[in-house]
A and B are shown apart, each in its own frame.
Chain A
Amino acid sequence: AQSVTQPDIHITVSEGASLELRCNYSYGATPYLFWYVQSPGQGLQLLLKYFSGDTLVQGIKGFEAEFKRSQSSFNLRKPSVHWSDAAEYFCAVGGRSGGFKTIFGAGTRLFVKA
């Protein structure tokens, strides 16, 4: 079955500290992997995506993610967090299997303290 697990419901980091949000997936074929961010009261915005090739993917707002097939993981990282990064982050998986349906994780809420 296709699924996405984000083990951390919420994470708190200090401004300027590094960040890593975890994501594990289960998918029967080659996955397309995504990270989205949702600010309060807003829709989802795509941060980055992985389809093939280089397993380290760069995104907007200084985020990057690394695809590790052996661990079925696609963790999101940022070297230095800004207060404006406080939001909900969603990992998602999709692909040709399942008619390009995208499955979302439950989300990780990021709090940033001064």
Chain B
Amino acid sequence: DTAVSQTPKYLVTQMGNDKSIKCEQNLGHDTMYWYKQDSKKFLKIMFSYNNKELIINETVPNRFSPKSPDKAHLNLHINSLELGDSAVYFCASRTGTGSTDTQYFGPGTRLTVL
């Protein structure tokens, strides 16, 4: 009954490959995010979807493409992987506004590009 789940937990791949990370939330939230956490623990937002619509798209290479088949899922596809893509990627979902505003994070996917 995990609230926000990600698969896989670890992903090791070669440069130039294409890979996907999946995220699912069973909380009924409308908004989901992808964050990238680099080796210095800096956490940066990449994308946000609200009811399957893209609402935040930070300056991210277009090799990264999010896909939201329904509001419970937000997947991240990465083409032509580069060494600099190595990081931990977190999915999050969000509920409410104002005092009820809370983000719930998944456990992360550690991507290593060799």
Per the CB 8 Å criterion, the residue count for chain A at the interface is 25
Q: Are B40 and A43 in contact (CB under 8 A)?
A: no
Asked if B55 lies at the interface with its beta carbon under 8 angstroms from chain A, I say yes
Per-position 1/0 for B49-76, Cβ under 8 A of A? 0000001100000000000000000000
- Cα A45 to Cα B103 with chains together (Å): 9
Instruction: Among B44, B48, B56, B105, point to the contact of A44 (Cβ < 8 A).
Output: B105
With A46-B102, A51-B99, A100-B101 as contacts: A106 and B42 at CB distance below 8 Å = yes
Q: How many A-B residue pairs have CB under 8 A?
A: 57
The residue from B44, B55, B90 contacting A43, defined by CB atoms under 8 A apart: B90
Interface of A (DSSP majority class) = strand
Interface residue? B43 (CB, 8 A): yes
Cβ contacts under 8 Å, A43 to chain B: 4, 90, 105-108
Cβ of A14 to closest chain B Cβ, rounded Å: 24
Q: Give the bracket for the number of chain B residues in contact with chain A.
A: 20 to 34
Select one of B43, B101, B103 contacting A51, CB under 8 A. Answer: B101
**Chain A residue with minimal CB distance to B3?**
A43
Q: With A and B bound together, what is the CA distance between A106 and B44 in angstroms? A: 10
Q: Tell whether, in the assembled complex, residue A42 and residue B43 are in contact, meaning their CB atoms are under 8 Å apart.
A: no
Specify the chain A residue showing the minimal Cβ separation from B56.
A101
B102 near A49 with CB under 8 A, answer yes
When the two chains form their complex, are residues B98 and A51 in contact, meaning their CB atoms are under 8 A apart?
A: yes
Provide the residues of chain B in CB contact with A28, threshold 8 Å: none
Nearest CB on B from A47, distance (A):
11
Residues A106 and B99 in contact, CB atoms below 8 Å apart: no
A106–B102 Cα gap in the complex (Å)?
20
Residue from A94, A101, A107 within 8 A of B41 (CB atoms): A107
A88→B40 CA distance, assembly (Å)? 11
B89 to chain A, nearest CB (A): 11
Whether A104 and B43, one on each chain, are in contact in the complex, defined by CB atoms closer than 8 angstroms, is yes
**Binary contact track A33-46/B, C-beta < 8 Å → 1, others 0:** 01010100111111
Closest CB in chain A relative to B93 CB, distance in Å: 12
